[in-house]
Structure 1
């Protein structure tokens, strides 16, 4: 990690009052790619990455709250709230919010995950003050009107129905439940029909007040931006809303802990009349803070991360058993999941599962070949850089890094870490992760005899 402090702002003023503290986290050449962070006395953190050569800017606010922060009865509240913050503030109606960004050709959206929520707008650099004002207003001034809660309930129920109609999407929620059970991490981000119908305005408003305190928020802006200007504009917007009233507050720390997933050999089947069977064969992974994540990233790329990967070649290219087949790893603060997905004809399920299991077992035993390692490192290095070619991706990187790690890593440092992965590191993480007994999630129209054989894949 690369980080250094600028001695530019003291922690306290001469009167003993807490004031802002500014740090340069990554120093780019001639200011290009420089990442700076200012922490306000309220605990609000503001980060920028400067790219003077572009004409756009992306502004986002990350909230340290996700679906894992919900109780069973509140399941879906985080996502529900994400919708409601677009419905109006004390200063703007829902139409005012969308029209303001549309009028300058910008784009605005949000997403909710299991451990965080993000609201963002991408605009021309000259329109950044507008984006800052609108997004900050949404985060600090939402009225959460009871009529909007009732109206948006129907929209969210339709979103749940849309997900249920897409088994390739729904199977990932099923896999989370298979591996993590009825726990905050195992429940769907959207909630269920029952929990969404049970949520009321007062419950959501209390959830909003608890989790959208400045200490829980990270502001991130990337593109043709000036750090000091962004800090001033964000501070003004939060002050106007009365959201910076606390004194010397400490930002919330990244999530931590150790959650062991001991599920092994579990099978869940959701029998539906679909054209394909959708399967995920997987096992516990590693937390996102585990230093083995670099080796696991290389392993994942070689196993199921592209057209030259083992799974793609064995399942699709050589045998034509599936159109879509890939592997993935999800890292949370205290645990992780590793999975192999495939969509195939129901009659081919057992053949696909056997091939996937055989490949997992072989890599767990032998690791990767030298050629696979070289190719995976090159592919992962290239995709890492290409994935950071726009201001939205840069905003995501600095915002998520601050919220999840409280630090920043330069692209050069990331590439160096990927390229330093050794065969021994890959063999070790393959043995530790892929060597575990897997579990299985399936959605599809399997007959009784087919369903009875699913245990063979996890034996």
Structure 2
């Protein structure tokens, strides 16, 4: 018999949680395990030391990966002074400093009834879950909702960061401040990303196919609570770095200078809607959408039913948002054997 049971802790930029994936016949047992894990967690020092080794190996692997170093340098500058600027897996020094008491203190700080959001999706006994979650909530301290807000300093001038690395390839990011999670223009920004991405996208066609500049090239974006970013990544031969940066900026500027065609816009809209509908075939995707929209104060209907949002975007909307984003100061992060003059 093939079956899958999973209890998975998670931690991101804005939240931590405990998720569970199981087959319906094991509901009672998994509910019991879930409640016990949430209410009575243990952080044994020997297990912690084992996990430290795993994380420190991840840090070493990251430090040997030029593309990840490029991203890390970019984030440190684009979000300078904000928690988003920090590497999510930490540093070797910060990992070494953690002990079991730190973990328990953090658990007690956040594990409060008012700071907790549950979401259950799938073939479940609804009444059983409601009763159990109410029981769990009553056993936790009432507490308060954690509502940290961190100011983000204005990016007043463009920056170029260079990190020397004796490799045969240069890794480059050209990026700008983007949008927040609540910005209604985020659907337009996804259209912009779709226009630029993929083998049929502008970046691949112009920089790789026509000009042979890139080993790999793609747009990149993130929306956060206080700020986000939008940009492009390219891996190329060191001698092509300067032209690659110029052409990345040129492709961004084209979106600001010239309206996209209805045909190109329609392709992007249909692709995003189709991908969204495929993703919603997974119960975990639906669960995450409902959960995080509630945590971040968004309307879950906007996430589950996006077709109207994408189809409402016009060529004028795309151009206007491109003008807003790409007129800002840029941050360029370059990792490779040689720097460039811009």
Q: What residue number does 2:208 align with? A: 316
- Separation (CA, whole Å) in 1 of partners of 2:130 and 2:19: 16
- Aligned 1:172-251 pairs, distance under 5 A: 172-237=71-136, 242-243=139-140, 245-246=141-142, 251=145
Change (3 A) 1:149 1:190: same
C-alpha deviation, 1:411, in angstroms: 5.8
Change (3 A) 1:442 1:134: farther
1:131 to 27, 30, 38: 30
8 Å Cα contact 2:82/2:151 also seen in 1? no
Alignment size in residue pairs: 342
TM-score where L is the length of structure 2: 0.90
Q: Which string of whole-angstrom CA distances, capped at 9 and with x for unpartnered residues, describes residues 287-322 of structure 1?
A: 11011111111112112x322211111112223322
1:156 to 43, 55, 63: 55
SS at match of 2:84: coil
Structure 2 gap ranges (5+): none
C-alpha deviation, 1:399, in angstroms: 1.1
SS at match of 1:328: strand
8 Å Cα contact 1:140/1:238 also seen in 2? no
- Aligned 1:285-434 pairs, distance under 5 A: 285-303=178-196, 305-409=197-301, 413-434=305-326
Change (3 A) 1:238 1:130: farther
SS at match of 1:330: strand
Q: Which string of whole-angstrom CA distances, capped at 9 and with x for unpartnered residues, describes residues 359-394 of structure 1?
A: 112212224222221111111111111121111111
C-alpha deviation, 1:177, in angstroms: 0.3
Q: Which string of whole-angstrom CA distances, capped at 9 and with x for unpartnered residues, describes residues 127-166 of structure 1?
A: 2333333333323211223333333322221121122223
C-alpha deviation, 1:452, in angstroms: 4.1
- Separation (CA, whole Å) in 2 of partners of 1:382 and 1:227: 30
* Residues 185-194 or 142-151, more deviating: 142-151
C-alpha deviation, 1:432, in angstroms: 0.5
- Separation (CA, whole Å) in 2 of partners of 1:403 and 1:432: 28
Q: Which string of whole-angstrom CA distances, capped at 9 and with x for unpartnered residues, describes residues 183-235 of structure 1?
A: 31101111111222222333332222112223222222212224332222333
- Separation (CA, whole Å) in 2 of partners of 1:284 and 1:294: 16
TM-score where L is the length of structure 1: 0.69
8 Å Cα contact 2:171/2:335 also seen in 1? yes
SS at match of 2:333: strand
- Separation (CA, whole Å) in 1 of partners of 2:241 and 2:171: 9
- Separation (CA, whole Å) in 2 of partners of 1:408 and 1:229: 24
User: Aligned-residue CA RMSD in angstroms?
Assistant: 2.5
Determine whether 1:277 maps to 2:176: no
SS at match of 2:300: coil
C-alpha deviation, 1:397, in angstroms: 0.9
